[in-house]
Amino acid sequence: MNNATKTVIVSGGSRGLGLAIVRDLLAQNYRVVTCSRKRSVEVGNLEAGHANQPHRFLWQQCEMGDEKAEKLFFENVLTFAGSDGLYALVNNAAIAGEGILATFPTVDAERILNINLVSSLRMSRLALRRMLAQNRPARVINISSIVGLRGYTGLAAYAASKSGLDGMTRALAREVGRRAITVNSVAPGYLTTDLSASLGPDQHRQIVNRTPLGRLGDVADVVPAVRFLLSEDAGFITGLTLVVDGGISC
């Protein structure tokens, strides 16, 4: 199969890292389906740019964390993919929330876990059912975080959700490996995206000082890792959490 017949789902692809992954996949000639709560200007531009190639790109509104909405989205994915089927799922959609757990609202913690982890579990279940039925190589990639690996003050719920993704990665890799389906995580460090916009000057300086490469990461630093894990060259890599953090966690 060449990339032109491979459909890839990217959840949360309207901005930040998700948008960068979507753009890169389109540049690699994949067929791409993405979803988000709202259509961003960037997504609108992608739609306009592929107006004459509607088989290449599809955006759908979907409230991640809402099981009914996720199922409807996935039904639309299968219609879009058609007989080519589904090649890959990139679980990228996530939200963050900062605060000491002792005073952190329960409703906010549950929302973080639901969107970041439970929704990814549901999307993976839907995707793997299709992938197993196809009986050919496929990929699942979970966008994790070094916060889940190392832990940071004020990010307990977020860390729990991302650590859970890494655990899911290892378990699913064992479940589906014999069917040539690989499951891996990519764990970025702090990136210059909306999720790090709340960092104060002192926090920003501390993170940069602790990073051997001396800067925050950029989405362009992470996209190649996703590209590689989707490629045929990564066919013997599974159950891995690939850290892309400039060395801050070493």
Q: Kindly name the residue from 30, 87, 152, 158 that is annotated as catalytic.
A: 158
Band of pLDDT at residue 78, cut at 50, 70 and 90:
very high
CA distances from 14 to 34, 38, 154, 186, 205 (A): 8, 8, 26, 19, 28
Tokens of 222: 């992470």
Residue 197 has pLDDT above 70, yes or no: no
Tokens of 121: 């579990």
- Tell me the average pLDDT across 1-22: 94
pLDDT score recorded for residue 2: 87
Residues 15-71 have pLDDT tens digits of: 999 999 999 999 999 999 999 999 999 999 999 999 999 999 999 999 999 999 999
30 catalytically annotated: no
* Top-tier CATH class for 3-192+218-236: alpha beta
pLDDT score recorded for residue 206: 86
Band of pLDDT at residue 194, cut at 50, 70 and 90:
low
Determine the Cα–Cα distance for residues 149 and 138; give it in Å rounded to an integer: 26
For residues 168 and 223, the answer to whether their CB atoms sit within 8 Å is: no
For residues 193 and 219, the answer to whether their CB atoms sit within 8 Å is: yes
Which of 229, 244, 223 is CA-nearest to residue 21?
223
In the chain, what are the domain boundaries? 3-192+218-236
3-state secondary structure of 28: coil
- Tell me the average pLDDT across 186-199: 77
Residues 142-158 have pLDDT tens digits of: 999 999 999 888 899 99
- Tell me the average pLDDT across 104-122: 96
Name the residue with tokens 């709340």: 198
